[in-house]
């Protein structure tokens, strides 16, 4: 689906383009800013737009595929930008990063994506507001779009942080009440943080290039707003790094708790084995077939052995109890 929108800088009015053939006429007027959003375009539609705007074949090839790294490529008459929309569903542990490819020129922006991106509606609203409050060049449209996509990271990050804090609280609870798949949950959350960082870290570098690159289509006033988006990405990246290190510490602490629990079990089993070994020693002594052993013919020999085993076992048990082995 192709959705063209334009903004006239003279009249300060927004409108929709009903026919793609009108795009050429609108582009000739430099006072018009055009945003064409292409959702799941066919190869023919993408090639048609490429011919209309004069896009480089390499950029079209990148836009037709997926799983591109966030980047900005500078061509003769346009910029090619790869950015991502982030979403996360905690119940299904579903982390999704939707690629959005952008072709940007002096008075146009073409976005290409192959999944629905709800954030684009919010980006359109921000563009309509920022176009009158900030500036009316194409940089404001790009800023509105990137700012909306970056703001999506914060709810995702907050959800993951809540999971990390919950996992921390479970570390030192009694082993019987802890979830059996606790270690797996830690690794899952850590993988989500790594996936988030794999997206935002290159995007941070991308914004750094945009803010420091002298571009003829961005005004100095607009660059200040790109710096704000860059600061947001730096904050997200730093937070991801902090909580990833925190999860590594939680994983080490969890392994230490598991090892300590195992040591407690082994210590208890060792204490019981020593008690039983003492009883076996007494039974073994009186099980030897020597004719000169006086207790063998004693009337109270059997009760004596039982009482002796009980007393010795009780003394050993009391010793280990004082040592807190039980």
How many distinct helices (H) and strands (E) make up the chain? 9, 7
Question: Looking at the DSSP assignment, which residues form a beta bridge with residue 15?
Answer: 6
Q: pLDDT-derived band of residue 304, with 50, 70 and 90 as boundaries?
A: confident
* CB neighbour burial string for 225-250, b if at least 16 within 10 angstroms, e if fewer: bbeebbebbebbbebbeebbebbeeb
Query: Could you tell me the residue ranges of all domains in the chain?
Result: 2-258, 262-322
Q: What is the per-residue DSSP string for 75-101?
A: -SS-EEEEEEEEEEETTTTEEEEEEEE
CB within 8 A of 203, min separation 6: which ones?
A: 70, 83, 84, 150, 233
Under 8 Å between Cβ of 241 and 235: no
The domain made up of 2-258 has a fold known as Beta Polymerase; domain 2 (3.30.460)
Output the pLDDT for position 265. 83
Q: Is the pLDDT of residue 176 over 70?
A: no
Alpha carbons 178 and 182: distance in angstroms, whole number:
7
Residues in the chain: 326
Q: What is the pTM of this model?
A: 0.74
What are all long-range contacts of 218-223, with beta carbons under 8 Å and residues at least 24 apart?
A: 218/137, 218/139, 219/135, 219/137, 219/139, 221/134, 221/135, 222/134, 222/135, 222/137, 222/139, 222/140, 222/143, 223/139
The two tokens of residue 169 are 């609280």
Q: pLDDT-derived band of residue 294, with 50, 70 and 90 as boundaries?
A: confident
- The CATH number that domain 262-322 falls under is 1.20.58.340
Q: Is the pLDDT of residue 6 over 50?
A: no
Under 8 Å between Cβ of 75 and 56: yes
Q: Give how far Cα 58 sits from Cα of 14, 40, 42, 62, Å.
A: 32, 19, 17, 6
Least confident among 29-38, 105-114, 148-157, 263-272: 29-38
Q: Is the pLDDT of residue 8 over 60?
A: no
User: Considering the chain, what is the average pLDDT of its residues?
Assistant: 80
Q: Is the pLDDT of residue 109 over 70?
A: yes
């Amino acid at each position: 689906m192709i959705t063209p929108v334009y903004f006239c800088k003279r009249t300060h009015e927004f409108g929709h383009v009903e026919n793609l053939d009108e795009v050429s006429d609108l582009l000739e007027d430099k006072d018009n800013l055009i945003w064409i959003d292409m959702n799941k375009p066919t190869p023919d539609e993408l090639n048609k737009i490429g011919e209309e705007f004069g896009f480089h074949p390499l950029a079209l090839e990148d836009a037709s595929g997926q799983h591109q790294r966030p980047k900005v490529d500078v061509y003769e008459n346009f910029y090619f930008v790869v950015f991502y929309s982030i979403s996360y569903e905690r119940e299904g542990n579903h982390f999704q990063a939707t690629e959005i490819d952008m072709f940007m020129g002096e008075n146009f922006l073409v976005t290409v994506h192959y999944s629905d991106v709800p954030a684009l509606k919010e980006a359109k609203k921000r563009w309509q507001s920022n176009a009158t409050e900030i500036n009316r060049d194409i940089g404001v449209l790009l800023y509105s779009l990137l700012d909306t996509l970056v703001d999506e990271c914060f709810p995702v990050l907050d959800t993951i942080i809540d999971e990390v804090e919950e996992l921390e609280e479970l570390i030192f609870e009694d082993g019987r009440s802890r979830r059996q798949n606790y270690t797996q949950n830690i690794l899952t959350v850590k993988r989500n943080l790594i996936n988030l960082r794999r997206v935002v870290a290159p995007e941070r570098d991308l914004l750094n290039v945009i803010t420091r690159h002298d571009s003829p289509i961005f005004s100095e006033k607009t660059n200040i707003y790109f710096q704000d988006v860059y600061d947001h990405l730096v904050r997200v990246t730093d937070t991801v790094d902090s909580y990833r290190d925190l999860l590594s510490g939680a994983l080490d602490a969890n392994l230490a708790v598991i090892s300590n629990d195992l040591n407690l079990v082994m210590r208890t089993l060792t204490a019981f084995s020593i008690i039983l070994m003492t009883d076996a020693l007494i039974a073994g002594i009186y099980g030897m077939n020597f004719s000169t052993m006086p207790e063998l013919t004693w009337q109270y020999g059997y009760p004596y052995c039982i009482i002796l085993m009980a007393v010795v076992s009780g003394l050993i048990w009391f010793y280990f109890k004082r040592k807190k082995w039980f």
